[in-house]
Structure 1
Amino acid sequence: MTLRPALALLIALTFAGSVPGAHAQDSAAPAGAATTAPAPKYATLPLEPTATEADAAQLSARFLTRFHYDAQPLDDAMSARIYKKYLDQLDGEKVFFTQEDLAKFAPLKTRLDDAIWNKDLSGPFSIFNLYVQRAKERMHYALGLLPKGFDFTKDESYVVDREKADWPKNQAELDNLWRERVKNDWLRLKLAGKDDADIRKTLTKRYNTLLDRIKQLDGEDAFQSFMTAYAETTDPHTDYLGPRLAENFDISMKLSLEGIGAVLQARDEYTQIREIVPGGPAAKSGKLHVGDRIVAIGQDNGPMVDVIGWRLDDVVAKIRGKKDTTVRLEILPADSGPDGKHELVTLVRKKVVVEEQAAKSKVIDVKDGDVSRKIGVIELPTFYADFAARAKGDPNYKSATRDVAKLLTKLKADGVQGVIVDLRNNGGGSLDEANELTGLFIDKGPVVQVRKADGDVEVEGDDQPGLAWSGPMAVLVNRGTASASEIFSAAIQDYGRGLVIGEPTFGKGTVQNLVDLDRFAQTDSEKPQMGELKMTIAEFFRINGGSTQLKGVTPDIQYPKNGDEKDFGESTYDNALPWTQIPPADYKPVADLKAYLPQLTQMHDARVAKSPAWKLMLDQLAQYKKMRDKTTISLNYDKRLAERKELDKIQADFLARRKAIDGDAVPSNPDSTLDDGLNANERSLKSELKAEKEAKDAKDVELDETAHILFDAIGLIQSNPKLAAEVLPYGGKFSERTVAAAPTPAAASAETRTKP
């Protein structure tokens, strides 16, 4: 089954990806079986809201109706929009509810505002309870189809994209829809070479796993879903973060946590170690390994709690804890079967830095004829900052700007002549970090304008003299470049400081503030109860007065669009704020890149026209768009087999062309590019990690071309002093100064915590 938005909650539980969790240390204790501590109680229907959740909903409404940038009343009209968003959250593909179900919900359409103001969430919870019931019924129905199998000689088809479809009229129509879904699941496995017995086994396990995850949905999931619908109805980037999500968001911003330093994921009924974080307690102990399964957890000298079958976030919550406390893990080693000998590992929790999302650098050697140049690359996945450590005056607080400053120092020592800041798929983060990072590449001046709800405009900028890098630079962007990334890219472009290269960006031009609801509620608990509200409070504008809202940043040299712009980006939201404009800030461009932009564009066009790698990328992109636009597929075996063979030929051609270009840097298994009919968590962890490594090691055509463009720019500058005076910052006469590892402004406000 192709899992799409309709199963979003189930995916979140079943295929939770990777969650930073734990760490390990030596233990003299013998291995032993877990004791019988009680497991969490999952999904006893009906789920009911708590008084705390009702208070959190009403408190959120007070903030959203008074302090939101585009404050809207919570009335019947808003209720109708929340109702629609809530149903889309739960059943966006219309595969669980029927029109008969919706008729029962109809009276709630204009009562959800009353539910929030009156602190009576029984209505929203009744919708969620029926969602859980219907999801269970669908899994049982799917399992009931497997013993008989299917007739693939019929000329049937299946609609794979149901986002714009109607809900099934009744139970019979829903049953037929699921018969087609399950038949397609079976056919995909059959086309991948599986026999009927193997297919039956795989799908039985798949649907039972989903059924188990449905049973683990709880009241917090119900409340989170409803509040997400309300928050996102106000604007696309306002969100409610329940206690679970708030903790993970905080980790994503500060890139650290207190735990054992292991990345965990759910696989079957186990929690499995997916990655060991270097330098963490788990890595230092040498006792934990990728693929190990955690079967029980104990705190200090307390009882061991069996966690087989638990949802991932509950396991992670038991492993995380305060620094210098002890956690014991009972492990089933990766190379052991289900009846293998367990091992007991004792670890002391420490502060663990999540380096995967931290800034990284490398050097690309570009050669053209007899000329070679070193181009530095800084990859920045997010604009992170540890606000709490920074406010406390911790000299080692985590910061994107501090890390990039250090990397620039290293790149200069390596002798690079140009620097690329790679912001592809950087969804944003701290507005302050975007401001400070820009300051590493300009001397002094405004970076961004921020307009609040009252219309007041504040100009934020860099007031520290000096550049960490004064040479040629480029910013590489794509559709996933958003928010704080767009602030940085736009400022670099407006100043003429460097080239912006790639696809038009996301188009998010709003600022969010994190509101800790527990701070405003009279609760005695030290543990977070009410969650946080990530609320839009302002809009940011470029220093030239334009906005990135909706339009994003248009690159100076554009690469082909990836085809997702109709489904991904600010312009795809029906409630996005409009594009507006304000007067420009008082700034002066430091260079005029138009002096050599036409030459660079011409050289780029000539090079990619002759590039086999670029042509392959374009052909693969065209094939992807063709497949993506296909909304209906045949359920006839002969037709699908013919399509499969045609796709096999196309993939074989792509693979042969890649080998001719990259040689050994091509996946060793050509079948890895073909549909095996499996969901992500049904493949072995070893094969999954191998595929990820191959993708990571694959030739990055866009980055290589960006390095060549910068290579060309350096060549033009070196050969023409007059041109150099126009395109280099400050006329090429600015003497580079030593810049501290990071500026130390006043403690950052929560307004800087932005995410698209």
Structure 2
Amino acid sequence: MRLRYGLIGLILTLATPAYALEAKELPQLAPLERQAQAANLSAQFLTRYAYKPVPLDDALSVRIMDQFIKSLDPDRMMFSQADIDGFTAENKNIDDAIINEDLTIPFSIFTTYSQRVVDRMTYAQSLLKQDFDFTTQEEFAVLREDAPWAKSEEESKELWRKRVKNDWLRLKIAGQSDEAIRKTLERRYQNTLDRVYTYKSDDVFQSFMAAYTTSIDPHTDYFGARASAEFDISMKLSLVGIGAVLQERDGYTTIRELVAGGPAQLSGKIAVGDRIIGVGQGEEGAIEEVVGNRLDEVVQLIRGKENSVVRLDILPADAGESGNHRVINIVREKISLEKQAASKTIVPVEENGTTRKIGVITLPTFYEDFDARQKGDKEYRGASRDVAKLLEELKTEKVDGVVIDLRDNGGGSLQESIEMTGLFVGKGPVVQQRNAEGEVRIESDDLSKPAWTGPLGVLINRGSASASEIFAAAIQDYGRGVIIGDPSFGKGSVQTVVNLDRMVKNKDADLGELKLTIAQFFRINGGTTQLRGVNPDIALPGLADPKTFGESSYDNALPWTSIKPAKYKPSKDMAAVIPQLLERHEARVKQDADFQRFVEDIEAVKAQREKGTISLNEAERRKEQATLAERLKARQQADGSAPQEDDGLQSNERSLTADLAMEAARKNAKDVLRTEAAAIIADQAALSAAKGK
């Protein structure tokens, strides 16, 4: 799945300067000619070549309007009912706007949105001057996607009063003083207010096009030039830059992490926490100040051509705002994004005095360097190649079984998924595709023999989608391994990317790309992964809510269907052994304290989710907090883990040190699902060994 770039995403990622802007007029954003042209071209493709074409008419117009409004105000906290009524009067004119290349309507809606952000944040800040009564019995609705819009200014103010009161109470229970709370929330609301002044025309257009394409089907999308470049980087697992992870903190672009062996780390001139206050190009290039700039803009300035020089004006982490800074030159290099690459670990599983080693290969995405492969580069980077190398290492380390961890792997390259399947089943069909004309094509792997023939498990969850589901489904259909975890996402559609500039021979390359659905995936057994996903052989508890996450949460998703099975030879061994594995699993987890605590946590989250509201009474909240603290304390005593209590802060409100410590704690926390998956495969190895004897 590709990441969708709406304005909600921007709210979480763009620069958020802490300084207060003087009262001034909001930027008047207007559609550009190239944007109107891109929307019109996209409509031509979507109405002619999509797998399930949807006519651009009044019905679709209404849907696009609803999607656009939802992307701006998903919690219905900004707009009023009067605003919505005004928008609705135009909701059947979106189709004409796209056809006539006049995007005034969505930009007008965004102008209203910007003003509402100013109104709401200004009011929220005014509430900080008063005290709140936390002895009253009040509740705040935390799930508001279906809530009614405020019908009056009084209703809106009451809603925001409860919102601010809840923010205050969280910080109060976390131990902050009233003075500290006022300072924290003042900065938080000011940051949200300041973002309105950083939006550009492309941001509005990207969000509108996301609303349009999502209205066709959940996986059709539009990407401006910048969004497309980010996707290419993620698929190649490499970029040209300085090798640093950047984050916006208090208006500064801050070094959050240095990539090992990257130019920044090797220079010895940059440290975690340092702030970039200026960027220049070339050894003598003028320094452009970037304090208060959007993070994505600063990143673009730092990236560049390989072996070129970028100049950075650095304010050290321990220096004040008026402290001494220094200018350094760094040569850009190709940086490998290893965190997104396949990795392995060995999990020992002990039972009845016997220790079995289970190799776990974690694959965050099915990546592939398309360009390098097409150019014939024999060393091109690909997920299946990396997994093959890790399998060889695990065989050398004499593991008894292997688990492929595909949790939250949203997909990627279809070819890599097919070739990775071949590592475990050898030569044979992997997936079927049916296009809009009903033609079916079978995709196969031609590997002469599998790289791993031992016990195998595939760990999935609701975030496992697309290429992950193709791999898991093929392993399940062949009876090659046991599928463990939560039912997968359910994305069984095929997309292709159309470069709009190439279509009209535009040399400026500013129209972007359109991703549209052109076919549907089918398992080799004839069923599809669409909508229903892959159901595990052995289910593990999961946190995802199927009502809000997964293909079934979309009201315009393609239906489940089936076609003729492909010719393949499944193994009967797995069907015979799964009941035994399930029996052992159920007996083990009943006695596993860590697993049972994990189940308790999930039940607590689900209970809160179903409730949908939170108390604004301090005594009740403290009672809830005490119950949680007791559970965390019991866990700490049992497994030595560090409890992570709610501090009421957002990520960029903590010190960088504290934020990194929390991230490390989460990373090092016990992964009970991985541990149990390894135990299941150890059981499989034991049963296989017993059968052999």
Q: TM-score range by the shorter chain?
A: over 0.9
AA partner of residue 667 (structure 2): K
The yes-or-no answer on 1:157 pairing with 2:145 is no
The yes-or-no answer on 1:699 pairing with 2:670 is yes
The yes-or-no answer on 1:630 pairing with 2:618 is no
Quick one: distance in 1 between partners of 2:96 and 2:573? 57
Q: Secondary structure at the match of 2:41?
A: helix
Q: Secondary structure at the match of 1:429?
A: coil
The yes-or-no answer on 1:620 pairing with 2:621 is no
Q: Secondary structure at the match of 2:451?
A: coil
Q: Secondary structure at the match of 2:424?
A: coil
1:654-686 CA-to-partner distances (Å, cap 9, x unmatched) read: 3323432x23xx11xx4xx22222112101111
Q: CA deviation at 1:114?
A: 0.8
Q: CA deviation at 1:180?
A: 1.7
Q: Which residue of 2 aligns with 1:542?
A: 523
1:443-490 CA-to-partner distances (Å, cap 9, x unmatched) read: 210000011111111000112211111111110111111110000000
Q: Which residue of 1 aligns with 2:550?
A: 569
CA contact (8 A) 1:501 1:559 kept: yes
Q: CA deviation at 1:158?
A: 1.8
Q: Which residue of 2 aligns with 1:355?
A: 338
AA partner of residue 596 (structure 1): V
Distance 1:45 1:337, change over 3 A: closer
Aligned length: 681
Quick one: distance in 2 between partners of 1:538 and 1:475? 26
Quick one: distance in 1 between partners of 2:107 and 2:473? 44
Matches within 5 A, 1:482-501: 482-501=465-484
Matches within 5 A, 1:664-675: 666-667=641-642, 670=643, 673-675=644-646
Quick one: distance in 1 between partners of 2:587 and 2:324? 63
Quick one: distance in 2 between partners of 1:279 and 1:369? 44
1:230-279 CA-to-partner distances (Å, cap 9, x unmatched) read: 00000011111122211111111111111111111111101111111122
Quick one: distance in 2 between partners of 1:75 and 1:319? 44
Q: Which residue of 2 aligns with 1:752?
A: none
Quick one: distance in 2 between partners of 1:697 and 1:538? 41
Quick one: distance in 2 between partners of 1:476 and 1:586? 26
AA partner of residue 721 (structure 1): G
Distance 1:682 1:145, change over 3 A: same
Quick one: distance in 2 between partners of 1:14 and 1:184? 25
Q: Which residue of 2 aligns with 1:284?
A: 266
CA contact (8 A) 1:184 1:635 kept: yes
CA contact (8 A) 2:343 2:363 kept: yes
Q: CA deviation at 1:193?
A: 1.8
Give the alignment's TM-score, normalised by structure 2. Answer: 0.96
Please, which moves more after superposition, 145-154 or 226-235?
145-154
The yes-or-no answer on 1:532 pairing with 2:513 is yes
CA contact (8 A) 2:280 2:286 kept: yes
1:100-135 CA-to-partner distances (Å, cap 9, x unmatched) read: 112222232001011111100111110111111111
CA contact (8 A) 1:613 1:658 kept: no
1:203-227 CA-to-partner distances (Å, cap 9, x unmatched) read: 1111111111121011111101100
Q: Which residue of 1 aligns with 2:91?
A: 109
AA partner of residue 610 (structure 1): Q
Distance 1:304 1:6, change over 3 A: closer
Distance 1:551 1:288, change over 3 A: same
Match of 2:633 among 655, 658, 663: 655
Quick one: distance in 2 between partners of 1:533 and 1:648? 51
Quick one: distance in 2 between partners of 1:227 and 1:546? 32
AA partner of residue 703 (structure 1): R
1:168-220 CA-to-partner distances (Å, cap 9, x unmatched) read: 11222212211221122122212222222111111111111111112101111
AA partner of residue 314 (structure 1): E
The yes-or-no answer on 1:129 pairing with 2:108 is no
Q: Secondary structure at the match of 1:596?
A: helix
AA partner of residue 148 (structure 2): D
Q: CA deviation at 1:88?
A: 0.7
Q: Secondary structure at the match of 1:425?
A: coil
The yes-or-no answer on 1:255 pairing with 2:256 is no
Quick one: distance in 2 between partners of 1:232 and 1:317? 28
Matches within 5 A, 1:153-302: 153-300=135-282, 301-302=284-285
Q: Which residue of 2 aligns with 1:327?
A: 310
Q: Which residue of 2 aligns with 1:10?
A: 11
Q: Which residue of 1 aligns with 2:463?
A: 480
1:18-50 CA-to-partner distances (Å, cap 9, x unmatched) read: xxxxxxxxxxxxxxxxxxxxxxxx995320011
AA partner of residue 559 (structure 2): P
CA contact (8 A) 2:16 2:294 kept: no
Q: CA deviation at 1:615?
A: 1.1
Matches within 5 A, 1:361-400: 361-400=344-383
Q: Which residue of 2 aligns with 1:738?
A: none
The yes-or-no answer on 1:94 pairing with 2:76 is yes
Distance 1:431 1:15, change over 3 A: farther
Q: Unaligned regions of 5+ residues in structure 2, if any?
A: 1-5, 18-23
Q: Secondary structure at the match of 2:420?
A: helix
Distance 1:485 1:15, change over 3 A: farther
Q: CA deviation at 1:320?
A: 0.7
The yes-or-no answer on 1:406 pairing with 2:389 is yes
Q: Which residue of 2 aligns with 1:554?
A: 535
Q: Which residue of 2 aligns with 1:138?
A: 120
AA partner of residue 650 (structure 1): L
Q: Which residue of 1 aligns with 2:287?
A: 304
1:352-374 CA-to-partner distances (Å, cap 9, x unmatched) read: 11111100011112121221111
Q: CA deviation at 1:590?
A: 3.4
CA contact (8 A) 2:496 2:516 kept: yes
Please, which moves more after superposition, 649-658 or 441-450?
649-658
Quick one: distance in 1 between partners of 2:75 and 2:139? 17
Q: CA deviation at 1:304?
A: 0.4
Give the alignment's TM-score, normalised by structure 1. Answer: 0.88
AA partner of residue 89 (structure 1): S
Match of 1:452 among 431, 435, 439: 435
CA contact (8 A) 1:364 1:375 kept: yes
AA partner of residue 428 (structure 1): G
Q: Secondary structure at the match of 2:310?
A: strand
Q: CA deviation at 1:7?
A: 5.0
Q: CA deviation at 1:339?
A: 2.4
Quick one: distance in 2 between partners of 1:240 and 1:181? 34
Quick one: distance in 1 between partners of 2:123 and 2:10? 19
Q: Secondary structure at the match of 1:228?
A: helix
AA partner of residue 530 (structure 2): Q
Q: CA deviation at 1:152?
A: 2.9
CA contact (8 A) 1:512 1:537 kept: yes
CA contact (8 A) 1:259 1:319 kept: yes
Quick one: distance in 1 between partners of 2:451 and 2:374? 24
Quick one: distance in 1 between partners of 2:422 and 2:161? 58
Q: Which residue of 2 aligns with 1:438?
A: 421
CA contact (8 A) 1:43 1:216 kept: no
Distance 1:398 1:155, change over 3 A: same
Q: Which residue of 2 aligns with 1:710?
A: 681
Match of 2:404 among 421, 435, 441: 421
CA contact (8 A) 1:6 1:91 kept: no
Match of 1:592 among 570, 573, 580: 573
AA partner of residue 123 (structure 1): I
Please, which moves more after superposition, 101-110 or 232-241?
101-110
CA contact (8 A) 2:16 2:292 kept: no
AA partner of residue 615 (structure 2): S
Match of 2:622 among 639, 644, 667: 644
CA RMSD of aligned residues (A): 1.7
